Structure 1
Amino acid sequence: MKHPYKPLVALLLLSVLSFPSSAQQANPIKSVGKVNTVNISGQKVNLTTDQNAFIEVSVYSPSVVRVRMDKQKLGDDFSYAVVGKPKQTKANITQNNNEVVITTDSLVTRINKNPFAVAFLTKDGKVINKDEEGLTTSWIGEEVTTYKHMQEGERFIGLGEKTGGLDRRGSGYTNWNTDAYGYSTGQDPLYTTIPFYVGVHSGLNYGIFFDNTYQSDFNFGASNNRFSSFGAQGGEMDYYFIYHTKLSDIITSYTDITGRMDLPPLWSLGYQQNRYSYYPETEVFRIAQTLREKKIPADGITLDIHYMDAYKLFTWDKTRFPNPLQMNKKLEEMGFKTTVIVDPGIKVEPGYGAYERGKKDDIFLKYPDGEYYTGQVWPGWTHFPDFTSDAGRDWWKKEIKFFAETGVDGFWNDMNEIATWGQKMPNNVLFQYDGHLTTHKEGRNVYGLEMARASYEGSREHLPNQRPFLLSRAGYSGSQRYTAIWTGDNRSEDSHMLLGIRLLNSMGVSGIAFTGMDIGGFTGNPSIGLYARWIQLGAFTPYFRNHTGVNSKSSEPWAYGEEVTEIARNFISLRYKLLPYIYSNFYEAAQTGHPLMRTLAIDYTHDPKIYSGEFDTEYQFGEAFLIMPFESGKNYGKVYFPKGKWYNFYTGEVKQGNQEEIIGIQYNKLPVYVKESSIIPMQSLIQSTSEKPTDTLTVHVYNGDVANSFVYYEDDGKSYDYKKGEYFKRTINFDPRKKTITFDKVEGNYNSNFKNIKVMLHGFEGTTKVKVNNKSQNLTKDFASFLDPISRFDPQGSANPKEGYEVQRIVLKNDKDKFTISY
């Protein structure tokens, strides 16, 4: 018997098969498509696809290839981050029916035509990085994303100010500059956007810089096991692929593209005392005088928002600070520089000078109907200068004169994410974007960068031939050209202290060399032990600032008792003795982009141990020091010594590398080791950088099995005369094979601050004589002691004897000619 419904079922099935589904009618994901035209011109390849995508692949240098694409014709080549220009490069570009191949001395780029996809290979054919087949690049509405094949065992580091572990595999991140008060240790996003990361796998490493200022998202295998990806809510897909065999060279190439810092003023590398807030001026002088009386070296006092009249920018509270110029001159005489906070919001108040001048010059951010955008911050309802316009930056630069005339030396750019109460700035606010009118969606992430730029340029104009100090909370790639960055409103917790180390290391590998965190924590009150440990760590960070928030306990070093005062004094004093080493490392950062504070991934990239959560807060301070952070209250801890030999900084004991070890942790001493063959210049103790050290530079040389060199650098520490040749630079070489320590001939016209050089030899037991330029000289015994006596915290309160160990020394005249010590 025939089923009565069979004809109807057949008819319905036929109708379903005859008509496409809605998904087939309109795929919401637009792929880049198949290449249909190729135009090769010099170092560039321009392509179009059958999906109306427009693509440009260009050689930036032998090791850098740039990829731009959009679903419309490519717009102006404009970037706030990029200052480097393409280098003339020998590039061989060929094509056939299937692909275009670009070959340089360092890299092979293969562009597949059907569909468009890019792969980057070594010269011998190893895949460094390639698009994920089937996904490549696509659009969902205005959102554009590139998908990369995730290699076996691939790790990811970088992205600047991001929480989490050193290895970011398995995590995803968003770039959207955010006022993240008291953020958690896993919170994302934070204040600053640095869309640059490094991939590591199979003995290879590469960098990708995604230059797009819309909200961007990075996925390193979060919620998927197929790809890593990066994309943005609008704008072009525009990224730079960087390949070098050494990770440090990737940082150099990235900072070739985005720029490097100038040398900072020497005073900014000293200890800075801050809180929210020091006022009135009698309190400022009390803090300064107490630092001097207690022999705690310091160079800076920072003033938070209470110095202003009702939080109005470009004003001083005349009751609290009746004569700021006189105050700042007196602080200068005491060896202190003054840094003031500057927020971008200008109070809406008729008669208030900055408000009236801003209206007159028409420099505030606007809605599409021409009305100024108004948001609430500290002074109440405010307008915001448009720093993405020449007019806005020029106005701000003129206003900076107010501070220059009142003796201010440093500018702390805060609340520049943009932060407003409610934390929801409307997207229809317009930004000039230097002739590329856009909305808040594209302008937000560069607002902090451009505010820092305006502050820097204003400082340069009104403090002629004086290096300004700039600090910023928010930023974008390229911020290193203008400002230091600190990690914002952290918490007084052990987990935040260790998070801060990871944040600073991540920013260092991401091109930001001058960084810091609030020592002791901004929110809450640290325990005595936590404060003691944190200030020890602070001595080994680039920007060393003690800071705490309003309505918290005082957090100066003496606020935690005599023992902590002594610990703080010892480590801050050590910082000042190390200034020749630190300043020389900042010179390196200005030349190469290499950070002073460096994750072990820079020098030990392919050692899997350094990525372990047990060890990923260990870091190098310069190349010489290995710093091992620990939570407060621990008596023992596990550490990892990378390849090589490592000297205990305090005792001279040698540890062999490539091994884990349980070590004892002393309350009064941060675990610090020195790498074999290291060269560390030090000076006598001073109380501020306005004070001259003695005339002898002490150069510590640690014996080892590998050759090493160190570029020692000096200048006046305050002006730009070094750019005219007024510097003193000398390379010091240690060669264990030849058994020599060589001081090369001096470069530059600056006369050293030191007339003598004392060479301290560590690990050269049995050596009693050396030859200096073939003339025999005796070594004398000396005692290496880097810390003054410290009270060890225990129930009896017993004190340790003076700590150190015996070494050999020789004292020589600091002549500018080359000389060699043979041992």
Structure 2
Amino acid sequence: METEVLGNIERTEQQGNALVITTNEATAKVYVYNEAIIRVNVTKFPGKPDTSFAVIQQPTGALNYSENNDEIIISTKTLKLRINKSPLRFNFYTADDKALSEDDSRFGVNWQNERVVNYRKLYPDEKFIGLGEKTGNLDRRGTHYVNWNTDASRHTIYTDPLYKTFPFFIGLHSTLTYGLFFDNTHKSYFDFGATTDDEMSWFGADGGDMNYYFFGAQGVAKIIEDYTWLTGRMDMPPLWSLGYQQCRYSYMSAEEVLKIASKFRKNNIPADVIYCDIDYMDNYKIFTWNKTAFANPKDMIDQLKEMDFKVVAIVDPGIKVEPGYKQYDEGVEKNYFATYSNGDKYIASVWPGRCYFPDFFNDEVKEWWGASFTALTEPGVEGFWNDMNEPAAWGQNIPLNVKFGDKYIGEVRNVYGMEMTRATYNGTRKILGNKRPFVLTRAAYCGTQRYSAVWTGDNTATDEHMLYGQRLINSLGLVGMSFSGVDIGGYTGNPTPELMIRWNSLGPYIPMYRNHAEIGTAMREPWEWGKQNEKIIKKDIEQRYKLLPYIYSGFYQSTQTGLPLSRTLAIEHTLDENVFNVMYQNQFMFGDSLLIAPVESTKRIADVYLPEGEWYRFAGDKKYKGAKAHKVPAPLDDLPVFVKAGAIIPMQHVVQSTNDAGDGVLELHVWNGKSANEFVYYEDDGATYDHERGIYHKRVITFNPAKKTVSLSVAEGDFTSRFTLLKLILHGFDKVTPVKKAIAYTNDEIVIGY
């Protein structure tokens, strides 16, 4: 095997908005997408179509460059790309010439047969964060990862790869930040100095182009904003999907589903969602119902609706090989399934037995798949859970000569799940009309945030899985996936009561709050842990519902800037070495103002690091100094949660579901601080797309300690708030009445003095 290294420039020309550079080995094209994003594409096949599953933008920046004997310099207001001519190397700098990331001068871009790799200089203090769903520490330095979407059942906290591929990372060094998105769907590799004696980092893929987008904005939050501008942002989720979700593989009958839902209401434990796993189907055939156990799904769902429950049903890609089965017959007739290279249909076994697999890279197949959801929507299902879409098959290794249309699986395995999810989202949105579907997927690629929430797959009932699961959530937030969750309690194994309580106490601060477990494990519902423990679990679920005004506004922020709801502390406190300390790396911000410190179920005292500023314990208002570590109480009924000084947190009183109108009182909780602060409060109907035509309610809430006021701007939008009264509750203020008398909540400017 020979190594072919990108050599000297032979010619250069501008073609439209691209700078085209030719060497003996390949053609490179450079595009300016905006002042902070430059794309580099190095290919051996310059005539092939230029497409992306992830990117939704086109280059809009001006291509301004100069040239001398040694280099070409492309300049924007933010970035400077110095292109070395002999040999061709790409070196990125800030506009004022501070090095951000540079090709290794020896190896640059090179090939070994079809495999393409880029070696880059590794700076002494460089850290790396990102890649989404990857095990290991917050700082990826010294690690190596593979992207190859895998059904990682019973994985450990060291398993790699897992279910998803997000080839986007953020580099940190010399007080600078940069981002890099390697948009290549082949099996890919990232090495952050693990195998090069701390001399180089490198990334590459088994095929395709060296195709990456370089982000030069300063600040992690700004890089996330630019990345999600490029790949898209989530839309507002249905409000009901932000409530408590109860799931199990499986509730075995409609009777059991209704019994579970009824007990939530009887015990006054808030909940919004109940799931139907694979046993609702007729012999695991997609888009069917079990004729005995779920004989009348519409009647079941109608009864659930009367109790204010929504239903989420699972779907897998495998279509059972069974003549007479609607989806099989239609797919065979229209040639909708994957084949071997010779045209024979590919068959692999999954839950239904021998199955065909839809070609989701064919738009006609996506339309067909989406239209098939009427089998679920007509009885009343509004949530759609896409599982087994890595794609999974018993035995795992789908042969590399399997094709989806003209694409071999080696090229598109990593994006198969996203394309299935796209088909599910587009199909159900079309069927439901103006009603928002909830879509959940296990496999994903960059851009999946446009269609779906994600969860982290089959975790295990251990403390280490609880803690590393939160790191996965935080890391998914870095790659645009704000709406994410874990299986609370652990999918496999049986949690101790203490672990169940502790994990559930994290639930209010996880974007998707779902309790799930596999068949054969102990039941996980809140009342299964004894009366005293049920009270604690109920209290934490109630906390989620109290926080929904804050949470929903946080998701609105995600739709506007890409900033996730659950945020590693490295986003806001990038230069603070303590946030990368393994003792504190699990901590995260939930929205703008809450800091959560996950704690093992066996500990009652926690070591917590609070970044600079002043902080308050959420429960009890005890004040703490920032920029230092603290030992704090961590009883099972009070997870360490802290509030930033100056925080504004809108809350409501407990409701039993998001459909519960409540008492109409919006509580504004404000914690004293030295600096002014703002919070963008957002409401809409939580169910439709009317917000896209201006039917929403948005206003800026301002805390001004100098003027001693809390003010609300004039409301924007045509939606009538669900709240009619406003109550201001002050924390940490001396010599003032902590709870102000409720006043009318109107659309006019409101100013409250204290």
TM range (shorter): over 0.9
Q: Does 1:138 align with 2:110?
A: yes
Deviates more, 1:555-564 or 1:606-615: 555-564
Kindly state the Cα deviation for residue 814 of structure 1 after the two structures are TM-superposed.
Answer: 1.6
Conserved? CA contact 2:17–2:59, under 8 Å: no
Once the 2 structures are TM-superposed, how far is the Cα of residue 74 of structure 1 from its aligned partner?
Answer: 4.9
Equivalent residue, structure 2, for 1:494? 463
The one-letter amino acid paired with 2:749 is: K
Contact 2:311 2:381 in 1 (8 A): yes
Give the aligned partner of residue 743 of structure 2: 812
Q: Does 2:173 match 1:201? A: yes
| Partner in structure 1 of residue 431 of structure 2 | 462
Residue 148 of structure 2 corresponds to residue 169 of structure 1: no
Q: Does 1:248 align with 2:208?
A: no
Q: 2:483 aligns with which of 514, 531, 541?
A: 514
- Tell me the equivalent position of 1:562: 531
Within 1, Cα distance between the matches of 2:524 and 2:475? 27
Tell me, yes or no, if structure 1 residue 181 matches structure 2 residue 153: yes
Tell me what 1:713 maps to: 682
Q: CA deviation at 1:819?
A: 2.9
2:595 is aligned with 1:621: no
CA distance in 1 between counterparts of 2:62 and 2:702 reads 34
Tell me if structure 1 keeps the 8 A contact 2:314–2:385.
yes
5+ residue gaps, structure 1? 1-26, 768-780, 782-806
Tell me which moved more, 697-706 or 607-616. 697-706
1:738 Cα deviation after fit = 4.0
How far apart, in 2, do the equivalents of 1:242 and 1:154 lie?
A: 16
Corresponding position of 1:324? 297
Q: 2:621 & 2:606 partners in 1: Cα distance?
A: 20
Q: Work out whether 1:127 is the aligned partner of 2:103.
A: no
Q: Which residue of 2 is the match for residue 391 of structure 1?
A: 364
C-alpha distance in structure 1 between counterparts of 2:549 and 2:209, whole Å: 45
What one-letter code is carried by the residue in structure 1 that aligns with 2:374? K
String of CA shifts for 1:771-812, please: whole Å, max 9, x gaps.
Answer: xxxxxxxxxx4xxxxxxxxxxxxxxxxxxxxxxxxx242432
Is contact 1:625-1:672 (8 Å) kept?
Answer: yes
1:678 corresponds in structure 2 to: 647
Range with greater deviation from structure 2 (205-214 or 740-749) = 740-749
Give 1:79's aligned residue. 52
Q: Is the 8 A contact 1:523 1:552 kept in 2?
A: yes
* Kept after mapping to 2: 8 A contact 1:401/1:458: no
SS of corresponding position for 1:173: strand
2:126 corresponds to which letter in structure 1? E
Give the alignment's TM-score, normalised by structure 1: 0.90
From 84, 109, 113, give the equivalent of 1:112: 84
Equivalent AA in structure 1 for residue 745 of structure 2 = N
Distance 2:96 2:56 in 1: 32
Please give the per-residue CA displacement for 1:216-243, whole angstroms capped at 9, x wherever unaligned.
0000011221111110000011100011
Which deviates further from its counterpart, 218-227 or 608-617?
A: 218-227
Does residue 521 of structure 2 align to residue 552 of structure 1?
Answer: yes
User: Partner residue of 2:4?
Assistant: 30
Contact 2:337 2:404 in 1 (8 A): no
- Measured after TM superposition, the shift of residue 406 of structure 1 is 1.4
Q: What is the CA-CA distance between 1:664 and the residue it aligns to?
A: 2.0
Deviation at 1:43, TM superposition (A): 4.3
- Aligned position for 1:412: 385
Map of 1:722 onto structure 2: 691
Moved over 6 A (4+): none
The answer to whether the 8 Å contact 2:246/2:516 transfers is yes
AA aligned opposite 1:395: W
Q: In 2, Cα distance between the equivalents of 1:281 and 1:409? A: 17
Paired residues for 1:149-164 under 5 Å: 149-164=121-136
Deviations 1:556-586 (A, max 9, x none): 1111111221111001001001100000001
1:731 aligns with 2:680: no
Name which of structure 1's ranges 754-763 and 564-573 shifts more when overlaid on structure 2. Answer: 754-763
Kindly indicate whether the alpha-carbon contact (under 8 Å) linking 2:239 and 2:552 is maintained by their aligned counterparts in 1.
yes
Instruction: Give 1:215 deviation, angstroms.
Output: 0.2
Equivalent position SS for 1:655 = strand
Report deviation, 1:91.
4.6
Residue of structure 2 in register with 1:423 after alignment: 396
- Give the % identical residues: 47
1:365 and 2:317 aligned: no
Q: Which residue of 2 aligns with 1:48?
A: 22
The aligned residue for residue 374 of structure 2 is 401
Of 159-168 and 244-253, deviating more is 244-253
The answer to whether the 8 A contact 2:573-2:611 is kept is yes
2:164 to 192, 212, 219: 192
Q: Which runs of 5+ in 2 are unaligned?
A: none
Q: How does 1:329-344 map to 2 (within 5 A)?
A: 329-344=302-317
For 1:315 and 1:748, locate their aligned partners in 2 and report how far apart those are by CA, in whole Å.
42
Instruction: Look up the match of 2:13.
Output: 39
Counterpart code for 1:250: I
For residue 32 of structure 2, the aligned residue among 55, 59, 66 is 59
Q: Do the aligned partners of 1:273 and 1:301 also contact (CA within 8 Å) in 2?
A: yes
What is the aligned-residue RMSD (CA, Å)? Answer: 1.1
Q: Secondary structure at the match of 2:742?
A: strand
Q: Deviations over 1:96-133 (max 9, x none)?
A: 11111111111111111011111111122110111111
Contact 1:262 1:481 in 2 (8 A): yes
Cα distance in structure 1, aligned partners of 2:582 and 2:331: 50
Structure 1 CA distance, aligned partners of 2:557 and 2:399? 42
Could you give the per-residue CA deviations for residues 702-745 of structure 1, whole angstroms, max 9, x where no partner exists? Answer: 11122221110001000000101100000112233444322111
Letter of the aligned partner of 1:700 in structure 2?
H
Amino acid at match of 1:821: I
Q: 1-side partners of 2:293 and 2:604: how far apart?
A: 46
Equivalence for 2:637: 668
Counterpart of 2:348 (choices 375, 379, 383) is: 375
Moved more, 58-67 or 664-673: 664-673
Aligned partner letter, 2:497: I
Shift of 1:180: 0.4
Distance 2:161 2:126 in 1: 23
Instruction: Please give the alpha-carbon distance, in whole angstroms, between the structure 2 residues aligned to 1:615 and 1:707.
Output: 28
Give the SS at the match of 2:532.
Answer: helix
Secondary structure of the 1:539 match is helix
Taking the aligned partners of 1:92 and 1:276, their CA distance within structure 2 comes to: 57
In the alignment, is the contact (CA less than 8 A) between 1:361 and 1:395 conserved in 2? no
Q: Deviations over 1:616-669 (max 9, x none)?
A: 000011011000001102122211010111111111111010001112211211
- CA distance in 2 between counterparts of 1:74 and 1:35 reads 19
Instruction: Please list the CA deviations of residues 195-216 of structure 1 after superposition, one character each: whole Å capped at 9, or x if unmatched.
Output: 1000011111111000000000
Aligned 8 A contact 1:448 1:473 in 2: yes
Are 2:65 and 1:96 equivalent residues in the alignment?
no
Cross-structure match for 1:524: 493
Which of the residues 425, 447, 454 maps onto 1:485? 454
Structure 1 residue matching 2:66: 3-state secondary structure = strand
CA deviation map 1:427-456 (0-9, x unaligned)? 111123xxxx22010111111000000100
| Structure 1 match to 2:561 | 592
How many matched pairs? Answer: 753
Q: Residues 481-508 of structure 1, C-alpha deviation per residue, up to 9 Å, x if partnerless?
A: 0000000000000000001100000000
How far residue 90 of structure 1 moved from its aligned partner, in angstroms, is 4.3
Q: Give 1:756's aligned amino acid.
A: L
> Residue 285 of structure 1: which of 250, 258, 262 is its match?
258
**1:85 to partner: Cα distance:** 2.2
Paired residue for 1:607, among 551, 576, 597? 576
- Aligned residue type for 1:750: F
Q: Amino acid of the residue matched to residue 508 of structure 1? A: G
The one-letter amino acid of 2:393's match is T
